[in-house]
Amino acid sequence: MARQERAIRTQLSILKAAAEVFDSHGYEAATIGEILRRAGVTKGALYFHFPSKQALAEGVLEQQFSVIRVPPGPCRLQEFVDTGLIVAYRMRRDPLVSAVARLSLEQELRAEYGSSAIRQWIGASEVLLGAAKEQGELLPHVVPAESAWLFSAAWTGTQLYSQILLGREDLEERVVALFRHLLPSIAVPAVLSSLEITAERAARLGSASDALLEGPGEQADSPQEERTQQAAAAATA
Amino acid sequence: MARQERAIRTQLSILKAAAEVFDSHGYEAATIGEILRRAGVTKGALYFHFPSKQALAEGVLEQQFSVIRVPPGPCRLQEFVDTGLIVAYRMRRDPLVSAVARLSLEQELRAEYGSSAIRQWIGASEVLLGAAKEQGELLPHVVPAESAWLFSAAWTGTQLYSQILLGREDLEERVVALFRHLLPSIAVPAVLSSLEITAERAARLGSASDALLEGPGEQADSPQEERTQQAAAAATA
């Protein structure tokens, strides 16, 4: 294994451990000691990559888009739906994704992390909805920036309710219901009726993305991921 | 002033002070001492009504529906919209309303307060949407319980985003956009086009409800409030 590749793997295993600890205890109660134990690396290696708890939290936040792989297709709105479904699927199964939600929404951390994470979610949605509009998939009155803000906010509220009321057990189903409630007001009818918005699709795409992330193509970029990253970059610029 | 009335006024001024302190510092950092100072009552009076900080938080949560006054009208869906608009208006101006949001969504308190407050919001929405459905205002496929869950969750997400990104400055506008995005999928077209969903309406109804709450009719029940209270009771039963 090349030296650089080894460094990346170490870094990822530290971030995974940090995400687990942030996700279960919150930022304040998280300790570097516990992250070290879970990551199984030396203190020197950890501090080499991440000099502080804050750097670890920022590292976790930066990773959020890298674990979302959406299959490209001809319909941008389906890609938008798929992103929402896959994030729901992964939020129940990947501490990295749910740690980001926790770090961004905790009252004490909002000033520090909340708004930048939220701006990234809105930015990524805006890029997808903007592409959908360009392809004629959205109704003429739709303003991608406004709808992107709303979808992101509504998605986050759905996630929060599902977490508080049922430990996220019904998250995919609720996200499906959310899209079914919101899309009729923005999608052209012919596009709307062609969309697949089901919990089964979430499960199918979710396990496919698990396989992708575990497989050898870990660093391969999909066109969607590129767009998402552009959006994230634009939102934080 | 009758003795009972005086007791109610003392209780309300304590709850108002408690809401202000919870709203600005959160539950953990709130102290009985600061609540006492703000309420301007004796320690004995406070402990007579509320034996603990927990009792104060519960008292604040119980008050949430009493400060929302929605004018009754022939259209249930308009009443539903008006409730969402007035809560947005008051959340920016009344610590009692925003303290409830903070108490319910803080990660550490969710187990204790979050789910009961959320169940009440969903319950109140379900009663209004159920009445709208009975009057033929909703499309035949709509399930009031499912839509009520979603609207409440999406409303909460909207509130949270507006708070994090812009200190709630655009809350009424965002709630208007939320209703415009969600209602087309549940409302009968003729009803949809008759609804007034504007930030101006929020301001108008909001100031009218301010006047109602400050006026002598403070304890008068409107039909809507009765329904809201029934829903809240049903949700916590």
Which parts of chain A have pLDDT scores under 70?
A: 1, 107-114, 215-237
pLDDT of residue A237: 42
Residue B202 in contact with residue B172, Cβ under 8 Å? yes
Return the sign of the alpha-carbon dihedral for residues B145, B170, A155, A139.
positive
- To the nearest whole Å, the CA of A170 is away from the closest chain B CA by 12
The CB density around residue A187, as the number of other CB atoms within 10 Å, is 22
Residue A90 lies in a domain: yes
Chain B: nearest CA to A221, how far in angstroms? 30
Q: With contacts defined as CB-CB under 8 Å, which chain A residues touch B147?
A: 181
Contacts 24+ apart (CB under 8 A), B162-168: B162/A153, B164/A110, B164/A114, B164/A115, B164/A118, B165/A115, B165/A118, B165/A119, B168/B91, B168/B92
Query: According to the model, what pLDDT value does residue B101 have?
Result: 87
pTM, rounded to two decimals: 0.86
What backbone torsions phi and psi does residue B36 show, to the nearest 5 degrees? Answer: -60, -50
> CA–CA separation, A160 vs A146, rounded Å?
21
- At A20, the amino acid letter reads E
Q: Is residue B70 part of a domain?
A: no
A158 to chain B: closest CA residue: B153
N residues, chain A:
237
- Structural domain contains residue B67: no
pLDDT at A132: 98
Q: Do both A57 and A80 map to the same domain?
A: no
User: For chain B, how big is the Rg over CA atoms in Å?
Assistant: 18
Per CB-CB distance under 8 Å, the chain B contacts of A176 are: none
- Among A102, A150, A197, most B C-beta atoms within 10 A, so best to mutate, is A150
| Domain end among A62, A95, A110 | A62
Q: Which range is least confidently modeled, A64-73, B65-74, B95-104, B106-115? A: B106-115
What's the confidence (pLDDT) of residue B215?
60
- One domain, residues A139 and A36: no
Average pLDDT for residues B74-87, to the nearest whole number? 96
Domain count, chain A: 2
| Residues A118 and A166 grouped into a single domain | yes
On whether both B95 and B51 belong to a single domain, the answer is: no
- Mean of per-residue pLDDT scores for chain B: 87
Nearest chain B Cα distance for residue A102, angstroms: 8
Inspect the interface and report whether the beta carbons of B153 and A153 lie closer than 8 Å: no
Domain limits for position A10: 2-62
- Specify the pLDDT at position A36: 94
Question: B129 and B44 in one domain?
Answer: no
Buried b (16+ CB within 10 A) or exposed e, B140-158: eebebebbbbbbbbbbbbb
Beta carbons of A160 and B156 less than 8 Å apart: yes
Average pLDDT over residues B32-43: 94
pLDDT at residue B136 above 80? yes
Q: Residue A114's pLDDT is what?
A: 63
Does one domain contain both A53 and A95?
A: no
A114: nearest CB among B154, B158, B164: B164
- Structural domain contains residue A70: no
Report whether pLDDT(B232) > 70. Answer: no
Radius of gyration of chain A (CA): 18
Span B180-226, pLDDT tens digits: 999 999 999 999 999 999 999 999 999 988 777 776 544 444 455 55
The reply to whether B68 falls in a domain is no
Is residue B229 one of the residues assigned to a domain?
A: yes
Q: What is the pLDDT of residue B72?
A: 85
Of B107, B178, B181, the CB nearest to A102: B107
Where is average pLDDT lowest: B1-5, B18-22, B114-118, B222-226? B222-226
Spell out which residues of chain A touch residue B118, defining contact as CB-CB under 8 Å: 161, 164-165
Residue A157: per-residue pLDDT: 95
Residue B47 lies in a domain: yes
Q: Considering only CB atoms, which chain B residues are within 8 Å of A161?
A: 118, 149, 152-153, 156
Give the per-residue pLDDT at A149.
98
Domain at A31, CATH number: 1.10.10.60
Give B165's contacts in chain A (Cβ within 8 Å): 115, 118-119
Same domain, A226 and A131: yes
If asked whether residues A93 and A39 sit together in one domain, one would say no
Same domain? B84 vs B151: yes
Cβ within 8 Å, pair B147-A182: no
Q: How far apart are the first and last CA of chain B?
A: 35
- CATH number of the structural domain spanning residue B231: 1.10.357
Same domain assignment for residues B90 and B174: yes
Residues B38 and B112 in one domain: no
Shared domain for A154 and A201, answered yes or no, is yes
CB contact under 8 A, B147 and A115: no
Contact B181 A150 (CB under 8 A): yes
Q: Which residues in B225-234 are b (16+ Cβ under 10 Å) and which e?
A: bebbbebbee
Residue of B nearest to A187 (CA): B181
Is the residue at A68 inside a domain?
A: no
Which of B36, B62, B88 finishes a domain? Answer: B62
